[in-house]
Amino acid sequence: MIESSYQNLFKLPELKRKILITLALLFVYRVGVYVPTPGIDGAALESFFAQVSGLLSMVNMFTGGAMERLSIFALGIMPYISSSIILELMSVVIPHLEQLKKEGDAGRKKKIQYTRYGTVVLSVIQGFGISVGLESMSSPAGVPIVIDPGWSFRIITIITLTAGTAFIMWLGEQITERGIGNGISLIIFAGIVARIPQGTINTIRLMTTGEMGIFTIIILAVLMIVVIACIIYMEQAQRRIPVHYAKRVVGRKMYGGQTSHLPLKINTAGVIPPIFASSIIMFPTTVAQFINMPIMQNIAAMFSPGEIWYYILYIGFIIFFCFFYTAVQFNPDDVAENMKKNGGYIPGIRPGKRTSEYIDKVLTRITLGGALYVSAVCVLPTILMDQFNVPFYFGGTSLLILVGVAIDTISQIESHLITGNYDGFLGRSGGSRIKGR
C-alpha cells in the first residue's frame, strides 16, 4: 500500500516535475552552505563555534550549519522573514501598503518587490555587524578568525552575505512558484533536517562516553514522540461552525437547501509565529553578539536561549504573531459577506454584521488556544532539554517546524494526487488522509 502510494508521486507528470524542481533547488541550497566567505580562517572559526552555545547555536540551527562555517549563506533566510514582518506591520499604518492588498496580483508583486529591497538593507546591516565582530574574535588557541582585517574584508563580507541571502530568497520564491510547498519554510526545514544526523551522532557519542545516561536518552526519545503527537493532533484540529444554505430557484432549477460547515483551524498561522518570533529576536541579538562592547554583550547574553527574558519575549512574540498572521490571512467580514451572497447563514445568527462578529469571536477564542499551544510546544521541551544539555535541533521549535512543514507539504502533494484521480499519499481512503477532526 505504502509502496503504491510512493509510485503515485511520479504518475502525474506535473507533480513529478514539481517534486524534482523542489529537490534540485534544495540541493543547490545545501551545496551553498559549504561555500566559505573569503578571508576567514576555517579552522579557527570551527574551534570558536565548538565552544559557543545559546543564541549562536540557535542561529546556526536555522541556517543549517551555515553560520558555523560562515558560508555565503551564513545569514540564512532570516533577513527576508524580518523584512516581511516589517512590511506587514507597516501596512497597518501606511495606507499605500494597505491598498496593495486590494490590487490583486499586481499589488502582491509590488509587496514582494518592497520585501526584497528590505531584505537587502537588513542583510547589509547584519553583514556589517558580523564582519566587524569577527575581526575582534579568535579561536580558543588565540588564532584570529579573520586573516586580514580591515575595510576590504568588511566590504567583501557584506557583499558576499547579502548576495547569499538574496540567492536564498530567490530559491525560496522559485520553490513556491515552480515546486511543491512553501519555499521559505522548506529551506528552514532542510536546514534543520541536515543538522539532525550530526546531532544524533553527538548524542550517541555522549552516551558512549558516559556524559549522557541511557535513562536520559529514553526520556529524550519519549518527550520527542509526545511532542510530535501533540503537534500532529493540534495542527489538524478544527472548530467547525455549521452553515445552512436556504433554498432558492434560479430558472427551472432549485439550489441550496443543504447543510455545510465553516472550518476554522485551531492554529491558523501554522509554523509562521515561531519562525517570525525567532527572526525578530535573533536579528538584533546576533549583531550584538559580534560587537565587542560590554553593553552589547550584556544585551546578547540577556536574550540568549536559556535566559528568562528570552522566553518571556519569545512567548510574547509567538502569541502576537499568531493573532497578527491569522488577522492577515482570515477576514471575517469577507467570509460573512460571501456567505450572505450565497444564501448561507449560521443557525441562530443573523446574516451580515452579526455573522462577522460571531466568526471573529470564535476565531479569537480558538486562536488564543492555538497561540498557547504553539508557545508551550516551542518553550517547554526546550526548557526541559536545557537541563540535559540537548542540542536545539531536538527542541520544540525545531519539531514544530519539521512536523508543520511536513504536514503542509504532504497536504499539497495529496491535493495533486486526488486531482489526478490517484490515491492519497498516505494510502487508499477515497480522499485525503490529512484532514481536520
**Would you state the cell numbers that stand for residue 225, as one nine-digit string?**
514522540
Phi, psi (deg, nearest 5) at residue 242: -65, 140
Instruction: Match domain 2-419 to its CATH number in 1.10.3720.10, 3.40.50.620, 3.40.50.300, 1.10.3370.10.
Output: 1.10.3370.10
CA distances from 179 to 94, 105, 189 (A): 33, 19, 15
pLDDT(436) > 70 = no
CB 275 within 8 A of CB 182: no
Continuous H helices in 332-395 = 332-341, 353-387
Range in 46-55, 73-82, 98-107, 329-338 with the lowest mean pLDDT: 46-55
What residue spans define the domains of the chain? 2-419
What is the model's pLDDT at position 429?
Answer: 46
**How do residues 95-111 score in pLDDT, each as one tens digit?**
887 787 777 778 888 88
**Would you state the cell numbers that stand for residue 313, as one nine-digit string?**
519575549
- The separation between CA 381 and the C-alpha centre of its own chain, rounded to angstroms, equals 18
**How do residues 56-97 score in pLDDT, each as one tens digit?**
666 777 777 777 788 888 888 888 888 888 888 787 778 887
**pTM over cut 0.85:** no
Using CA atoms of 86, 91, 95, 100 in order, give the dihedral in degrees to the nearest 10.
Answer: 110
pLDDT(433) > 70 = no
In the predicted model, what is the mean pLDDT of the chain?
79
At a CB cut-off of 8 Å and minimum separation 6, what does 163 contact?
Answer: 72
What is the model's pLDDT at position 175?
Answer: 92
Mean pLDDT of 146-150: 82
CB 63 within 8 A of CB 76: yes
Which of the residue ranges 16-30, 94-108, 384-398 has the most confident prediction, judged by mean pLDDT?
A: 16-30
- Model confidence at 269, pLDDT cuts 50, 70, 90, reads confident
What is the model's pLDDT at position 160?
Answer: 92
Mean pLDDT of 142-154: 83
What is the model's pLDDT at position 120?
Answer: 92
Mean pLDDT of 299-312: 75
CB 362 within 8 A of CB 262: no
> Tell me, what amino acid is at 158?
I
**How do residues 197-240 score in pLDDT, each as one tens digit?**
877 777 777 778 777 777 777 877 888 888 888 888 888 888 88
> Tell me, what amino acid is at 4?
S
Please indicate whether residue 161 or residue 431 has the higher confidence score (pLDDT): 161
User: Strand pairing partners for 146?
Assistant: 40
At a CB cut-off of 8 Å and minimum separation 6, what does 89 contact?
Answer: 324
Using CA atoms of 400, 320, 335, 100 in order, give the dihedral in degrees to the nearest 10.
Answer: -100
User: Strand pairing partners for 253?
Assistant: 250
What is the model's pLDDT at position 391?
Answer: 57
What is the model's pLDDT at position 1?
Answer: 45
* Residue among 133, 51, 89 at smallest CA distance from 300: 133
